[in-house]
Amino acid sequence: MSKVYFLDDSDPVWFPDPALSDKEGLVAVSETLTTDRLVLAYQKGIFPWLKMGEYPLWHWFSPDPRFLLFPKNFKVSRSLKKALKEKKFEIRTNRNFQLTMESCAQSQRPGQESTWIEKDMIVDYCKLNQMGIAHSIEAYYNDELVGGLYGLCLGKSFFGESMFYKMPEASKVCFAKLVDVALENNFHFIDCQVPTPHLEKLGASQIPRADFLSKLHNSITDQTKNLNWRMV
């Protein structure tokens, strides 16, 4: 029987082995995030979700299997190809990371009554952005933010967190730009966490968690050059 660990803020930052998770991939719970805990979590193949209730807690997951996009497997749909050719969107990186996160939090998603992207999370991820670890790719139309995504870059891997759009194809164009960055810098994979029909159409697929953790170890230890994301 699996055991769910409680991460006490008074203890050193740590995580149990993801292999000890329950059948849903739950590894641990905590009352807070913190930047140190977030970085260590992603390095170990774990990501946070907020579970609301009488006592809201952060739930740390490492699902099996894991949903990844290998950059060379990226599929460009006919509509996306048209949007890329038209160049109707101005694409920028890290121009407004916080607004991108807030827009993702406000995005309506089928079957989801509330967002896991709450104020404390935005604060901590903005700190990671200032540290050069978290990044956003943003689509603008007439100088208005109409689509974007954000996530973390560690070693030679990108951990996607969320995306949104206010105009058709805006988020997909941002994702295509992310794939360009991944290909140009020999990223091993883009972590998409859990399956969605949208990302499956773009070429993402599931692999066993053990295989993911092996690939993760290789990508984290494979040092990449310091990317100037603002110039991408």
Indicate where the chain has its CATH 3.40.630.70 domain(s).
Answer: 66-231
**Regions of the chain with pLDDT less than 50:** 231
CATH-assigned architecture of domain 66-231? 3-Layer(aba) Sandwich (3.40)
Give the span between the Cα atoms of 63 and 75, in whole angstroms. Answer: 24
What is the reported pLDDT for 74?
98
What is the reported pLDDT for 3?
80
pLDDT digits (tens, 9 = 90+) for 172-200: 999 999 999 999 999 999 999 999 998 99
φ/ψ of residue 177, rounded to 5: -65, -40
Select 5-61's CATH number: 1.10.150.120, 3.30.70.3550, 3.40.50.1000, 3.30.70.1020: 3.30.70.3550
On the CB side of 209, how many CA atoms lie within 13 Å of its CA? 20
What is the reported pLDDT for 116?
75
Give the span between the Cα atoms of 159 and 153, in whole angstroms. Answer: 6
Sign of CA dihedral 118, 119, 122, 124: negative
Tokens 């579970």: give the residue.
51
- Name the pTM for this structure: 0.93
What is the reported pLDDT for 183?
95
Give the span between the Cα atoms of 219 and 187, in whole angstroms. Answer: 8
What is the reported pLDDT for 226?
59
φ/ψ of residue 182, rounded to 5: -60, -45
Give the span between the Cα atoms of 174 and 33, in whole angstroms. Answer: 27
Indicate where the chain has its CATH 3.30.70.3550 domain(s).
Answer: 5-61
| The amino acid at 184 | E
The strands making up 5-7's β-sheet, listed across from edge to edge, are 5-7, 26-30, 57-61, 47-51
